[in-house]
Structure 1
Amino acid sequence: FHHANKINGQAFDMNKPMFAAAKGQYERWVISGVGDMMLHPFHIHGTQFRILSENGKPPATHRAGWKDTVKVEGNVSEVLVKFNHEAPKEHAYMAHCHLLEHEDTGMMLGFTV
Structure 2
Amino acid sequence: MQSGCAKLVDPIDLEYFLPQNKMEKKVEKCPPDIFFSLETNPITDGSAYIEVGEIKVSCSVNGPTEMRQDSQLVAVLKFAPFLSWLPKDVQTSIEKKLSRLLLSA
Is this a same-fold pair by TM over 0.5?
no
Q: Structure 1 or 2: larger helix share? A: 2
Computing the radius of gyration over CA atoms, which structure comes out larger, 1 or 2?
2
| TM-score normalised to structure 1 length | 0.24
| TM-score normalised to structure 2 length | 0.25
Q: Structure 1 or 2: larger strand share? A: 1
> Greater relative contact order: 1 or 2 (C-alpha under 8 angstroms, separation 6 or more)?
1
